[in-house]
Amino acid sequence: MTQSINLPKLDDFLQELATIQQQGSKRIAFLGSRHVPLTHQLLIELLSYALALSGNSIITSGATGTNFAAIRGALRADPNLLTVILPQSLDRQPYESREQLENVIHLIEHSENDTLSLAEASSRCNQEIISKCQQLICFAFHGSETLLQTCHDAEEQRKVVTLFYFD
């Protein structure tokens, strides 16, 4: 009886090892669910803060939950190291996000996506974010289709992906 073992290719391991061992700053993307318990948000904020404090650039989107926590952490460490890419215009963001987004120096809006559904605009935004990062840190549920597809796409682009599940 033979059984196939699905092992990553050697070049995948080498790429991941090179990224992990890289000296100096990296471009790290944070993406995740909007539905995040407060304790988890505090941990995400702390992680973002520590990574930005270490000189890493943080890239995220503007939604509540995970992204909101990542923004708070990076703003506390160094606002110049934070880039927020919105899936639609600032006016289309939740009210509670807009106030915080006003403090973001590097804010990219996509008003051309205002006519799209939030899911479609978010998917496009996530693709832009992963194209700009070296590593993706994602916080999702097993049913978070858009986020899981984004992680898969990032792996296809040979990015280091760290995926945390809430469930």
| Model pLDDT, residue 80 | 97
For 116, other C-beta atoms within 10 Å of its C-beta total: 15
Cβ neighbours of 99 (radius 10 Å): 9
Q: Give the tens place of pLDDT for each residue, 77-101.
A: 999 999 999 999 999 988 888 888 9
φ and ψ at 43, to 5 degrees? -70, -40
Query: What one-letter code names the amino acid at 82?
Result: L
Residue 165's pLDDT band (boundaries 50, 70, 90)? Answer: very high
Mean pLDDT across 29-52: 95
Does this model's pTM top 0.75? yes
What is the predicted pLDDT for the residue at 135?
96
User: Is residue 144 helix, strand or coil?
Assistant: coil
- Which residues does 4 contact at the CB level (< 8 Å), separation at least 6? none
pLDDT attached to residue 96: 80
- At residue 155, the pLDDT reads 95
**N-terminal to C-terminal alpha carbon distance within the chain:** 35
Asked if residue 157 has pLDDT above 80, the reply is yes
* Rounded (5°) CA angle 151-124-31: 40
Say how many C-beta atoms besides its own lie within 10 A of residue 163's C-beta. Answer: 19
For residue 112, pLDDT over 60 is answered with yes
